Each structure stands twice: as structure tokens, then as C-alpha cells.
């Protein structure tokens, strides 16, 4: 089984125009109860189920008695579930099975530094071992194989912090062996079922990309495919006979297609494509290594079934729920699939699908307390930007209020090379429950819409990417749903940058802003990226700007240098250990605001990184954001606990009061 590439995945999403809709205006809408932040942002009761390869054990993630997420395991058909991990603080969020049927593997970092270690739990002895015990090194699992069960492949930047080499880890002895050394430009690797590294995905200094192959571990590398900057290629898998690659490619098309490329001849066969939408999730059989289905979302999920052997399974699963589903796990014999359904107004639901009987058995929902609550509908919308480019997004309107003249929160996604999608979103539900309309727009540069839409954002930070956000606000106002004088902007990472850009570049549009781990200075952002992002740097320069040649552009796009324009309330949240957007990004703009006599509230969490993983910190910051938005826009507020802090939170708060002018 191959694990997801380190390469930023191009996610599929809607390009076709969404059907317009008009919300019904309630004559006397009934108020709905305030949904607790503990339900919306607390730990799930149970999530992430996975069957062991032999199908005899069942694992999941759930909180322990101290509300720390752990991995639990039971025997299928029995009630002998027990906790098999003992994380002390942050909780475990990533785990998987080894193929030896006795080892469970999981990842954990230190207080959000993203230098993940790979741990192994021996379910027979109960021993837990750090399989990558190297200080300051980031480990990323690459592959487990049904053919070679006592070893796994792991990417690590052990030799050079900038580069990931492939290491073989012996599950019995813990021995670590270097099996593929990075020549300096490889971003990701792919191996066959013999754990032989056969494919390298390369990022070159001119921001072009390349796929290299070799016949065996001793053979020289040769280039199979090259794509210039602006095109997208990526490796999905190696075919069972080793003679071809399954790839994604936008070459000779606007959207990413799924293609079989013969290694010897270079011949390409298109397996699945959609002229309007990039290929999203691709389901590949873990042993046969054939594409079975490809998702081409059109507002919601839209699977295209490729393998006739699973057609009946998909038809049966579609009948289980009115939601979007994914096959999250399956046993070695491919008899049982674990399926997860997401929907906009309810928790994630998990089922066991029996492929022989074509029947699904309900397992559990991730957060039962969401059942029966007055959750809001998320609807796909589309509208033109000022230059005619079609923008797609999602609008969530509050339940129990008249949908006219509402306050609006423009909630901007991170990345920026990512996207918003349909389904249960705790932030959209939270804000709508408090009385706000919530707009989530996939501005230019968002993935899933094809290369033209993606490349339309090149060197447009603070420019067309920002005016797309303004156009989303204007469109929503024109529909009559929101009050143009009651608009806030909020987001994390790039969304945090957008919040800062909103109150500096267009200070008259937004009444307040919430920035979560957002960069304020593009020069310092580019200069302080993690060392293991070195292979991405050329692409960053092409998409954002090169400090050596685009100084004026980057300066104009950096909110720090316009801090004196901030005249509305601003709330900033930051993790002290963030390796992507360093603490200095927040602190330098706080200092600039203070120097210019402005006001800002700054909340630092010493034990967090790029976002807030611990539920105590996540709930604490959102409680502060809720009070902040309530004071700014007039929405409903669930008060903070006595003492002004969520118990267990590590928040350190600095309030800069604006100086009288």
C-alpha cells in the first residue's frame, strides 16, 4: 500500500456552474439553540476505523480518560476493545496497520513542530517503540507491502534536513537501512511490492517537474516524463507487472486526467478524464494495482467506476446514505471494505461493507452529539469574478433567522493551493449557528478546477486572488442575504494572510478580521520555510514571486508594510512551534500595529504548531473568536468559562489597545 505523496495533491472540485438557489424567507423564524463549542470542536467520540490486513482486528481513534486521542483495538466479533497507545498530550491522529498482522504504526510530533516520528505498537507483547528515534528528523511512511510483511519503507531527512531519502525499517529488529539516496531534487518516491524503489518524482530548479524510473535498485535512472511549470503530473502507482505507471497529468488537457503510461514505449492510455474537473480521489486495488474508480466532483462527489468488478459495490454503497463516501480501508482478501460517509448536516458515518453479500453494516458516527441538532445546509454557488473568471464556492446560511441583511463571515481556506468542498464543516456550522452567513469561495489558485484556473493566481497574492474574495462578498450582498456594513474576514494559514490583507489593502470592506497562523511578510515567509521544502522553493517563486526579481511585488503583497492602514478590530492566533508560518510572522505585525497606534489582540499557544491540535486550545481560541465576532458583528456568543480561559488551554494573551488620535 502506497501512502499519499508528499507532493501537494491536486484535489478535484466543481467547475460546472452550480444551480442558483433562493433561500426561503421565514415569516416568523423560530430561534434555534446555541450549539456548544465542545461538541463542534472537541475530540470526536470515535473516528478513523481500520481493519487489520487479515481482517481479524478492528482499530479506531478515541479519547482516553484524560481526553487525549489514542488508538484502540478489538477483535472482530468480540467486545474486547482496549487502548494500545499512551500519548500524553497532543493525541494521535495518524495511524495504520503493518502487513505482519501484529504491528500497528502511528505518527507523532512534538508540540506541533511537524518533525514526526514513526512509532510501532506490538499488539502481542504490548511494547511501543520509536522506529525513527532521530532528533530533528521528519519521518513519513511511504509503503507497506503484502508481499514483504516484516519491513516497511519510510521517507526521512536523516542525512540532509532538506532532502528525503528512502529507508527500510525492519519491524522485528528496528534496524534502519538506507535504500535510495536523494540526489538533491527528488520530492517523492514510489516502490513496487518488493519494496524496491523504482520511481522518483522530481522538482527542478526552473520549477518544471519530472518522473524518473529505473529497472531495478542497481539500474541507472532515466527520465520518463517532463512537465514545464504550470502543468501538473504525479505518480499514483506502479502496475503489478512493473511495466507501466499509473499517473495523473494535465499535459495535453486543461484538467488532470488519470493515465496509464507504458515505461518501455512511453505510450499513454487515458483511463479517466473530465474536461471540466480535475481527477480527485483515485481508488486503486492494493494488490492488482489497477484503477477501480475516480472521483470527479461536480458540486458534490461524482465517482466514475472503472473496474467492472466493483460496480455492484458502488451501486450498493450509494444506496446506504445520501452522503459522499470514501473507502477508507479494506482487508487483505478484499472481502470487507470500511466506508465513511460525510454529509453537510450530520456527523461522519462509518459502515462495514460485505462485498459478497453486498450489504452494509452501520458501525458508528464520529460525533453522536451532532445528531438531531439544527445544523445548516451548505449549498454550492457560483458567480463571475470581475474579470469574468467563474468562481465556485459554498454558502451556509443560519437556521431560524430571516435570510436578509445578515452579518457575513468570509471564511478563507488555507493553502492557497487547496480548496473548500461540500460536507460537514464545524466552522461553517459554528458560525451559522451564531447567526452569520458563511461564504467559502474557491478563489483563483484553488485546486480542482484545471490548470488555467490554478495558474490564473500566479503572482497574484494581494491582487486578483484578493479581489476574488471581494467579489464573493459583493455577490453575496447583491443577493440581499447580507449587510455590506457587517462583514468579517477569517481564515487560517493563507486564509490568515487573507484576513490581514483584507484589513490592510481594503480596510473599508471589512469590519473586523480573525487571522490564524497567517503570514504577514512574504519575504520572511519565503526565507523561513522548513528546510525539507527546499524542492518546492522554485515553484513558490513562480507562484508567489522571487525576492531577487520581484521585490516590489512581494512588498506590495505583504500586509506588514501596510500595517498603518489597519483601523478595525483584529484578532490573531499563533502556535509557537509552527514550522511553516513562524511565530515571527504574527509578532512582527503585532509590533507594527502597536508602533502605529493601532489595536490588536494576540493569542499565542506555546504547545501548538500550524493550527491548534489540542482540543483545549482549539476551543479556547474559537471562544475568543466568537466573543470577538459577537462584539464586532452582533452574533450570538456562548460565554467563555469563568477565569476567561478554557481549562487546560495554554493561551498567552496580549491586548494592544488603540491609541487615541
- For the segment 212-229, the average pLDDT, to the nearest whole number, is 97
Nearest to 321 by CA among 302, 297, 348, 296: 348
Residue 248 lies in a domain: no
Q: What is the pLDDT of residues 430-485, one digit of tens each?
A: 999 999 999 999 999 999 999 999 999 999 999 999 999 999 999 999 999 999 99
Q: Could you tell me if residue 256 is inside a domain?
A: no
| pLDDT value of position 359 | 97
> What is the distance between the terminal CA atoms of the chain, rounded to a whole angstrom?
63
Which pLDDT does position 92 carry in this prediction? 97
Q: Can you tell me the distance from the alpha carbon of 480 to that of 620, in angstroms, rounded to the nearest whole number? A: 33
What the block records as the C-alpha cell of 525 is: 515567509
For a pLDDT cut of 70, what percent of the chain falls above it?
95
State the CB neighbour count (10 A cutoff) for residue 219. Answer: 10
Q: What is the domain count for the chain?
A: 1
Structural domain includes residue 611: yes
List pLDDT tens digits, range 244-291: 999 999 999 999 999 999 999 999 999 999 999 999 999 999 999 999
Average pLDDT over residues 493-506: 98
**In the block, which residue shows the cell 507562484?**
543
Active site residues: 493, 578, 610
Residue 296 has pLDDT above 80, yes or no: yes
Question: If pLDDT is split at 50, 70 and 90, which confidence band does 378 have?
Answer: very high
305's grid cell: 467506476
For residue range 397-427, list pLDDT tens digits in order: 999 999 999 999 999 999 999 999 999 999 9
- Examine residue 298 and state whether it is found in any structural domain, yes or no: no
Q: Render pLDDT for 91-137 as a digit per residue (tens, 0 to 9).
A: 999 999 999 999 999 999 999 999 999 999 999 999 999 999 999 99
User: Distance between alpha carbon 647 and the CA centroid of its chain, in Å?
Assistant: 28
Q: What is residue 270's DSSP assignment? A: E
Cα(380)–Cα(393) distance, rounded to whole angstroms?
6
503 has pLDDT over 60: yes
Tell me how far apart the alpha carbons of residues 573 and 586 are, in angstroms, rounded to a whole number. Answer: 8
CA 642 from centroid of its chain's CA atoms? 34
Instruction: Indicate whether 13 pLDDT > 90.
Output: no
d(CA 458, CA 227): 17
137 sits in the region (left: phi over 0; alpha: psi -120 to 50; else beta) called beta
Domain assignment present for residue 418? The answer is yes
pLDDT at site 2: 66
Does 409 fall in a domain? Answer: yes
- Residue 19: pLDDT over 90: no
Nearby residues of 1 by Cβ (< 8 Å), 6 or more positions away: 143, 144, 145, 146, 286
pLDDT tens across 511-542, in order?
Answer: 999 999 999 999 999 999 999 999 999 999 99
221 falls within a domain: no
**Quick one: which H or E segment has residue 630?**
helix 615-633
Looking at residue 30, what is its pLDDT? 59
The boundaries of the domain holding residue 430 are: 378-656
- pLDDT of 35 higher than 70: yes
User: Does 635 map to a domain?
Assistant: yes
What does the pLDDT look like over 430-440, one tens digit per residue? 999 999 999 99
Q: How far is CA 297 from CA 69, 100, 168, 304, 338, in A?
A: 32, 36, 37, 10, 21
Cβ-Cβ contacts under 8 Å for 238 (sequence gap 6 or more): 190, 191, 192, 198, 199, 244, 245, 246, 289
The residues, ordered by sequence, that sit 6+ positions from 125 with a Cβ below 8 Å of its Cβ are none
Could you tell me the CATH number of the domain that includes residue 626? 3.40.50.1820
Q: What is the pTM of this model?
A: 0.93
Q: What is the pLDDT of residue 642?
A: 85
Closest CA to 509 of 658, 628, 408, 396: 408
Average pLDDT value over all residues in the chain: 94
C-alpha distances (whole Å) from 8 to each of 85, 374, 414 are 30, 35, 13
Closest residue by Cα to residue 55 from 358, 365, 353: 353
Beta strand segments in 596-651, E:
600-605
Hey, what's the cell of 272? Answer: 479517466
Q: C-alpha angle with apex 551: 548 to 555, nearest 5 degrees?
A: 145
H runs (alpha helix) in 215-340: 311-318
> Got the DSSP string for 502-524?
HHHHSTTT-SEEEEES--S-HHH
- 26 falls in which pLDDT band (50, 70, 90)? very low
For residue 109, the 8-state DSSP code is: -
CA count, 13 A, side-chain hemisphere, 342: 15
| 464-478 vs 494-505: helix crossing angle, rounded to 10 | 80
**Cβ atoms < 10 Å from Cβ of 655:** 9
| 406-412 vs 437-442, strand pairing mode | parallel
Q: What is the pLDDT of residue 660?
A: 76
State how far Cα 575 lies from the chain centre. 18
Amino acid at each position: 500500500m502506497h501512502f499519499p505523496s508528499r507532493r501537494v495533491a491536486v484535489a478535484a472540485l466543481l467547475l460546472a456552474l452550480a444551480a442558483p438557489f433562493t433561500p426561503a424567507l421565514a415569516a416568523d423564524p423560530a430561534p434555534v439553540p446555541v450549539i456548544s463549542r465542545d461538541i463542534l470542536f472537541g475530540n470526536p467520540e470515535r473516528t478513523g476505523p481500520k481493519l487489520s490486513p487479515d481482517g481479524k482486528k478492528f482499530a479506531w481513534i478515541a479519547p482516553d480518560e484524560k481526553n487525549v486521542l489514542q488508538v484502540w483495538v478489538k477483535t472482530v466479533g468480540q467486545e474486547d476493545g482496549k487502548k494500545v497507545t499512551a500519548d500524553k498530550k497532543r493525541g494521535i491522529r495518524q495511524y495504520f496497520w503493518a502487513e505482519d498482522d501484529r504491528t500497528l504504526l502511528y505518527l507523532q510530533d512534538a508540540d506541533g513542530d511537524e518533525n514526526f516520528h514513526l512509532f510501532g505498537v506490538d499488539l502481542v507483547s504490548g511494547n511501543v517503540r520509536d522506529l525513527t528515534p532521530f532528533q530533528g528528523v521528519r519521518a513519513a511512511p511511504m509503503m507497506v507491502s503484502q508481499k514483504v510483511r516484516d519491513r516497511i519503507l519510510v521517507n526521512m531527512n536523516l542525512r540532509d534536513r532538506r532532502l528525503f531519502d528512502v529507508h527500510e525499517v525492519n519491524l522485528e529488529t528496528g534496524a534502519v537501512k538506507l535504500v535510495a539516496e536523494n540526489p538533491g531534487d527528488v520530492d517523492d518516491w514510489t516502490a513496487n511490492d518488493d519494496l524496491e524503489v523504482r520511481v522518483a518524482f522530481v522538482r527542478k530548479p526552473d520549477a518544471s517537474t519530472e518522473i524518473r524510473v529505473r529497472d531495478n535498485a542497481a539500474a541507472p535512472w532515466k527520465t520518463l516524463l517532463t512537465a514545464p511549470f504550470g502543468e501538473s503530473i504525479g505518480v499514483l502507482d506502479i502496475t503489478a507487472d512493473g511495466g507501466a505507471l499509473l499517473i495523473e497529468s494535465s499535459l495535453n488537457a486543461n484538467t488532470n486526467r488519470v493515465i496509464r503510461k507504458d515505461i518501455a514505449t512511453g505510450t499513454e492510455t487515458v483511463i479517466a478524464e473530465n474536461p471540466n474537473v480535475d481527477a480527485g480521489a483515485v481508488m486503486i486495488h492494493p494488490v492488482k494495482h489497477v484503477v477501480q474508480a475516480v472521483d470527479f466532483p461536480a458540486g458534490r462527489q461524482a465517482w466514475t467506476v472503472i473496474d467492472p468488478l466493483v460496480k455492484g459495490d458502488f451501486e450498493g454503497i450509494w444506496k446506504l446514505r445520501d452522503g459522499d463516501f470514501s473507502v477508507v480501508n479494506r482487508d487483505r482478501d478484499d472481502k470487507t471494505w470500511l466506508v465513511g460517509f460525510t454529509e453537510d448536516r450530520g456527523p461522519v458515518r462509518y459502515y462495514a461493507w460485505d462485498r459478497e453479500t453486498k450489504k452494509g453494516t452501520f458501525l458508528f458516527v464520529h460525533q453522536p452529539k451532532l445528531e438531531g441538532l439544527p445544523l445548516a445546509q451548505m449549498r454550492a454557488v457560483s458567480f463571475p469574478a470581475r474579470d469574468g473568471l467563474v468562481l465556485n464556492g459554498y454558502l451556509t446560511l443560519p437556521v431560524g433567522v430571516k435570510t436578509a441583511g445578515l452579518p457575513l463571515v468570509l471564511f478563507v481556506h488555507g493553502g492557497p493551493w487547496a480548496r473548500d468542498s461540500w460536507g460537514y464543516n464545524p466552522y461553517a456550522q459554528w458560525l451559522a449557528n451564531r447567526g452569520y452567513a458563511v461564504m467559502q469561495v474557491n478563489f483563483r489558485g484553488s485546486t480542482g478546477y484545471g490548470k488555467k484556473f490554478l495558474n490564473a493566481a500566479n503572482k497574484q497574492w494581494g491582487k486578483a486572488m484578493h479581489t476574488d474574495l471581494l467579489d464573493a462578498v459583493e455577490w453575496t450582498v447583491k443577493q440581499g442575504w447580507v449587510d455590506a456594513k457587517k462583514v468579517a474576514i477569517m481564515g487560517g494559514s493563507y486564509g490568515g494572510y487573507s484576513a490581514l490583507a483584507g484589513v490592510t489593502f481594503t480596510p473599508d470592506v471589512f469590519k473586523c478580521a480573525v487571522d490564524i497562523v497567517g503570514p504577514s511578510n512574504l519575504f520572511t515567509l519565503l526565507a523561513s520555510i522548513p528546510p525539507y521544502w527546499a524542492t518546492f522553493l522554485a515553484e513558490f517563486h513562480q507562484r508567489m514571486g522571487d525576492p531577487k526579481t520581484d521585490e516590489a511585488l512581494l512588498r506590495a503583497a505583504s500586509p506588514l508594510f501596510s500595517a498603518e492602514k489597519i483601523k478595525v478590530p483584529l484578532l490573531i492566533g499563533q502556535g509557537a512551534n509552527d514550522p511553516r508560518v513562524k511565530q515571527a510572522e504574527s509578532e512582527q505585525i503585532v509590533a507594527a500595529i502597536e508602533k502605529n497606534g493601532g489595536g490588536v489582540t494576540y493569542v499565542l499557544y506555546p504547545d501548538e504548531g500550524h493550527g491548534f491540535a489540542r482540543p483545549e486550545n482549539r476551543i479556547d481560541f474559537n471562544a475568543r473568536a466568537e466573543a470577538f465576532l459577537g462584539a464586532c458583528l452582533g452574533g450570538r456568543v456562548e460565554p467563555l468559562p469563568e477565569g476567561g480561559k478554557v481549562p487546560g488551554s495554554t493561551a498567552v494573551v496580549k491586548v494592544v489597545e488603540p491609541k487615541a488620535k
